[in-house]
Amino acid sequence: MNPLLTFWNRRCALWALAAALCAAPAWAQTRLRAWNVHPEGYPVTQAMKSFAEDVKRGTQGRYQIEVFSNASLGDQPKAVQMIKSGELDIAEFSVGPLADAVPGVRVLSLPFLFHDSAHMFRYLDGALGERYAASLKAAGFVVLGWYDGGARSFYCATRKPTSLRELAGANIRVRSEIFTEMVQLLDAKPVPLAFKDVLEAFEKGSIDCAENNIPSYESTGHYKVAKHVYVTNHVISPEVLLVSTALWSKLSEPDRAAFQDAGRRSALLMRDLWNQRVAQAQEVTAKHGAQFIRVKDASAFVRRMSPLYAKYMKDPATREELLTIISNK
């Protein structure tokens, strides 16, 4: 064989190999799954998709994240266990389902604890958030960002509350132990009820009021039967973007930095999108006759909650977190 031809054949083979290596083949990519309970187009889903794009860019395409919305991979309790086991890589949760692993997060669901979301994020973006992150990491969850879970208020079909005393005796739909205790302390009657059954309960007259954030009030159509919104903002709570410790342990330091940066950016985006969504929901419901009565002074409500605060102050698992917030209000 011609030596010159052999030389050029070898050179071409080497060039082809180099081109193939530079092409970042599919086997060099790691595909990850991200879970959330919210629908497409919701601020959480939008922010998680932005997170996925930032991670892809920050890791030069080595990590590809697919976002699964509408709890399509399982309900929230199942997803919590999947994250802990490493079966799921990334998820966005409300704080309630994490309380079994880290009891201190229960404090974040207490009523009248924060003035508004900005007040809450001053804690969660600081030392208190770092303490929660350390506890959650020990339980199998690595925090990448704190999302806005919204401010909850009462809305009623058969009543037009303008003061605390006008909630007395009302049948109010509740979802948890803390909410049940809160409603009882307002001299109202808690009605445990699945969220999907609230609209029918209003229509049948089996509840007078429910409580939730304004986007949920609008998206469920509850505003069509419950026109009177008593804007108490009684619970302002976060949600949290997490990755599993199983995934975290596999990431290099530069990749961890890329995930953390993407998490911070997505949290800020979500908060902005959430504020836009709240304004939109208020506008839509007002156009359809919803009337908003805002609480000007929540001190009477806070006093009613004293037994609830005392209960959590006595519990060693929640005392330090509650003291941190109350002592710096």
Question: Which distant-in-sequence residues (6+ apart) come within 8 Å of 251 by Cβ?
Answer: 259
- Write down the pLDDT at residue 5: 45
Rounded CA-CA distance 234/225 in Å is: 22
- Write down the pLDDT at residue 11: 54
Question: Which distant-in-sequence residues (6+ apart) come within 8 Å of 150 by Cβ?
Answer: 213, 214, 215, 216, 236, 237, 274, 278
Kindly compute the dihedral angle of the four CA atoms of residues 132, 134, 138, 140, in this order, to the nearest 10 degrees: 70
Is 151's pLDDT higher than 50?
A: yes
Is 1's pLDDT higher than 90?
A: no
Q: Are the C-beta atoms of 231 and 246 separated by less than 8 Å?
A: no
Is 77's pLDDT higher than 90?
A: no
Note the pTM of the prediction, 2 decimals.
Answer: 0.87
Average pLDDT, integer, range 128-154: 96
Average pLDDT, integer, range 249-262: 97
- Write down the pLDDT at residue 25: 45
Q: Are the C-beta atoms of 175 and 106 separated by less than 8 Å?
A: no
Residue in the block written with tokens 């997803």: 79
φ/ψ of residue 103, rounded to 5 = -55, -25
pLDDT tens per residue across span 285-302: 999 999 999 998 999 999
CA distances from 293 to 154, 155, 190, 215, 286 (A): 10, 10, 22, 17, 12
- Which contacts (CB < 8 Å, 24+ apart) does range 283-289 have? 284/218, 284/223, 285/214, 285/217, 285/218, 285/223, 285/229, 288/223, 288/224, 289/223, 289/227
pLDDT tens per residue across span 84-115: 999 999 999 999 889 988 999 999 999 999 99
- Write down the pLDDT at residue 100: 87
Give the tokens for residue 254. 């530069």
Rank 75-79, 141-145, 195-199 by mean pLDDT and report only the highest: 141-145
Q: What share of the chain is helix, strand, coil (3-state, %, to 5)?
A: 55, 20, 25
Is 264's pLDDT higher than 70?
A: yes
Confidence tier at 2 by pLDDT (50, 70, 90)? low
**Percent of the chain surpassing pLDDT 90:** 82
pLDDT tens per residue across span 298-321: 999 999 999 999 999 999 999 999
CA 201, distance to chain mean position in Å, is 26
pLDDT tens per residue across span 231-252: 999 999 999 999 999 999 999 9
Is 141's pLDDT higher than 60?
A: yes
pLDDT tens per residue across span 7-51: 445 554 555 444 444 444 444 689 999 999 998 999 999 999 999
Instruction: Supply the mean pLDDT for the chain.
Output: 91
- Report the length, in residues, of the chain: 329
Confidence tier at 328 by pLDDT (50, 70, 90)? confident
Give the tokens for residue 203. 């229509």
**Given the DSSP bridges, would you call strands 90-94 and 30-35 parallel, antiparallel or unpaired?**
parallel
Rounded CA-CA distance 146/267 in Å is: 6
Q: Are the C-beta atoms of 35 and 45 separated by less than 8 Å?
A: no
**How close are the terminal C-alpha atoms of the chain, in Å?**
86
Average pLDDT, integer, range 266-274: 98
Give the bridge partners for 191, in sequence order.
173
